[in-house]
Structure 1
Amino acid sequence: MIKLYNYELSGNCYKLRLFMNIIGLQYETVAVDFYPGREHKSAEFLAINPWGQLPVLEDGQCRLRDAQAILVYLASAYDPQSNWFPADPQTRAQVCAWLAVADDITRTASAARLHDALGYELDVESARRDARVIFRLIDDHLAETEMEGGLWLAAEWPTIADIACFPYIALSQEGGISRDDFPAIRRWIDRVRHLNGFIGMPGIFAPHV
């Protein structure tokens, strides 16, 4: 069975749990005390991932790190229709571009959340400012897409681009980043929350809660 080294409050771990639940993939989790235990920096965990980062996924003899890379793997290995990581070269390139945006969201909005929630020392105002710039670009893209009849970031249907970008946008207020000025983002968040198989995490609630 697939094994996910997991921290429940991590948005990057959550996006993998969310995606596997949506596609109906069974997995088990191994709890890693990211905070305050810092088990991701322990010798035991560094033997699993020398980069000392979560998440890590094991599938048989395959061991992968990096949330976006793991999404690509899961979609490629377990979605035979190739809906979540489309085979069409142009659409696939669009998805990959949004996976890079997901990393930028982690670098900014997630960093601000780490500062506010866990006391990480960093330039939080810079992180918030940069996150708002990214959110403005995303909101404009979604608004333009909606005007053309679309609903999702990279295709006419949801892809791993939406899953990758979702958590730290949806958790942005925990880092002092309001979404009041981003109505298209708010509508997109609601669409993601209504996907079949959606599950929440602390700070992100399923629609029926």
Structure 2
Amino acid sequence: MSNAVKVYSFPLSGHSHRIELFASLAGINHEIIKVDLAVGEHKQQPFLKLNPLGKVPVIEDGDVVLSDSNAILVYLARKYASNWLPTDPVEEAEVQRILSLAANEIANGPAAARLANVFGADVDTDRAKGIAAVVFEYFETHLNDREWLVGSKPTIADIAVYTYTAHAPEGDISLKDYPKIQALLARIEALPGFVPMPKTPVGLAA
């Protein structure tokens, strides 16, 4: 797999899963390299040479080294799977807007609540659940007249939102009041090449 995109990942990281999922769905030749967060491998060399911020995921694609899951999604789509990133200015802007929601409201809402519940992180869970409620209500309304978050087919916007939304129940955030979100998740899971992120037992030490 010498020509494969190297994906430095951790199995229970939703940000990492975004990249693994997209690479699989888009048929991008890739190799998963596990970074053991439990022993602090991400805070040591040689990983810090790849990402001085000490976070997964990171990709190596030839001479290109790139971190940040949303930036990686844009790069991989533009280089290897252009059908996942619209070129229409309005739709491309819509994708970027959803990526911003993924980096902010999704990260500070369901992802943060999951961190507290599963890994014991010091998080204001009431605040996280409040943020999750707002963003999930937004997506539920947004999906009233559409199957995908942007345009008429799946894009990296759907991938960026998928993992932490699907695993929101691990942060004690129910999806029962969001049938349209549940339908979106099911559509993503039905795509050829879908790979799930493992469910995490509550109370697992990071």
2:156 pairs with 1:160: yes
Calculate the TM-score normalised by the size of structure 1.
Answer: 0.90
Q: 2:196: which partner in 1?
A: 200
Q: 2:204: which partner in 1?
A: none
Spell out the pairing of 1:1-209 with structure 2 (5 A cutoff): 1-34=4-37, 36-79=38-81, 82-104=82-104, 105-143=106-144, 145=145, 150-203=146-199
Calculate the TM-score normalised by the size of structure 2.
Answer: 0.92
Which structure 1 residue ranges, 4+ long, deviate > 2 Å from structure 2?
Answer: none
Q: Could you list the runs of 5+ residues in structure 2 that have no partner in the other structure?
A: 201-206
Deviation, structure 1 residue 44: 2.8
Counterpart of 1:75 in 2: which secondary structure?
helix
1:53 corresponds to which letter in structure 2? K
CA distance in 2, matches of 1:3, 1:83: 22
Q: 1:207: which partner in 2?
A: none
Q: CA RMSD in A?
A: 1.2
Query: Aligned residues: percent identity?
Result: 41
CA distance in 2, matches of 1:193, 1:11: 15
Paired positions, count: 196
- Encode CA deviations 1:33-90: one digit per residue, 9 max, x unaligned: 11x21221224322220111110001000000000000000000002xx321011111
CA distance in 2, matches of 1:107, 1:39: 24
2:10 corresponds to which letter in structure 1? Y
CA distance in 1, matches of 2:177, 2:40: 36
Deviation, structure 1 residue 6: 0.7
